[in-house]
Amino acid sequence: MSGARVLVVEHEDGTGPAQFGERLTDQGLAIDLCRPWAGDTLPRTLDAYHGLLVLGGSMGPYDEDQAPWLPQVRKLLRQAVTWDLPTLGICLGMELLTVACGGEVRHAALPEVGLNDLTIHQAAFTDPLFAPLVDQDSRLRAVQWHWEETATLPEGAVALLTSERCTHQAYRIGTAVWGVQFHPEVLADDIRTWGAADVGPLHALGLEPGAVVAEVEREETRLRTLWGAFAEQWGRIVADGPGPFARQRIPVERLP
């Protein structure tokens, strides 16, 4: 597994790869953390990478005035789909993947914050990333923190998970590109600052930030085990992929 490189795109302070990054590093993958919000320049192409991880953020997928780097992230996501490069978009990352590939994102009628149950579609039982999890546990729970959602999947996308409030919680494009609306990377310490920043929006949903964090704390061990295994499975997919020099080259400028 050593030697595989993953580009990780972080959209704002406090939204890093958290336990996901720790698991990938433990597997021997090299993490190239790009923080465009802090002035880092995104690469023009994914030539040098075995995998792409696009993280969450408080902005929406259309908020280019707030985050002017979003068009380039969408280009990289389209390139990843074209190459079938192992890719994972988390929350905003999934929303950007949806928009980049012709789907639609809208404001959620009922935003999800805190722990939430996920319902498994049949396709997940044979999915390369999700099958090891759903074989072991028919009841998945994950941390949610989103006010946007995918309304229409990209053409050809395979639905994998849903929830009571959000139809599209996870999907796959091709064989190696995934989007998840929930946050498999975070635990209680990671969301504590989110709660402090979102006091008003949480109160509008009838939620207390401290109670949301406490609920995650109570299930911390289970979340760490479940989604840590998910991170490791994605890391294996990255490491076992063909690598950057075996893929067909398509200049990013020619992508739709």
pLDDT at 251 over 70: no
DSSP 249: P
**How far, in Å, are 129, 139, 157, 180 from residue 135 at the CA level?**
11, 10, 22, 19
Residue 231 and residue 19 in contact, taking contact as beta carbons nearer than 8 Å: yes
Q: Domain residue spans in the chain?
A: 5-254
Catalytic residue among 11, 50, 146, 183: 183
pLDDT of residue 188: 94
Please check the confidence at residue 150 and state whether its pLDDT lies above 90. Answer: yes
pLDDT of 137 reads: 63
pLDDT band at 254 (very low <50, low <70, confident <90, very high): very low
11 carries an active-site annotation? no
Q: What is the pLDDT of residue 227?
A: 97
pLDDT of the residue at 138: 67
> Given pLDDT bands bounded at 50, 70 and 90, which one contains residue 243?
low
Model pLDDT for residues 169-220, shown as the tens digit of each residue: 999 999 999 999 999 999 999 999 999 999 999 999 999 999 999 999 999 9
Count Cβ atoms below 10 Å from residue 188 Cβ, excluding itself: 18
What per-residue confidence (pLDDT) applies to 241? Answer: 85
Q: What is the pLDDT of residues 2-55, one digit of tens each?
A: 689 999 999 999 999 999 999 999 999 999 999 999 999 999 999 999 999 999
**Average pLDDT of the segment spanning 219-236:** 96
Tokens read off for 228: 């840590």
Q: Does CATH place domain 5-254 in 3.40.50.880? A: yes
pLDDT attached to residue 255: 43
Closest CA to 235 of 104, 93, 88, 108: 88
Outline where 89-198 has alpha helix (H). 92-100, 131-136, 188-197
Categorize the per-residue pLDDT at 135 as very low, low, confident or very high, splitting at 50, 70 and 90.
confident
**144 phi and psi angles, rounded to 5 deg:** -115, 150
91 flagged as catalytic: yes
Question: What does DSSP assign to residue 198?
Answer: T
- Active-site choice (91, 112, 148, 168): 91
115-120: average pLDDT:
94
Query: Which is catalytic among the residues 10, 95, 149, 185?
Result: 185
pLDDT of residue 253: 43
- Say if CB 1 and CB 28 are below 8 A apart: yes
For the sheet with 87-90, list strands across it. Answer: 30-34, 5-9, 51-54, 87-90, 177-180, 170-173, 158-162, 104-120, 140-152
252 has a pLDDT exceeding 50:
no
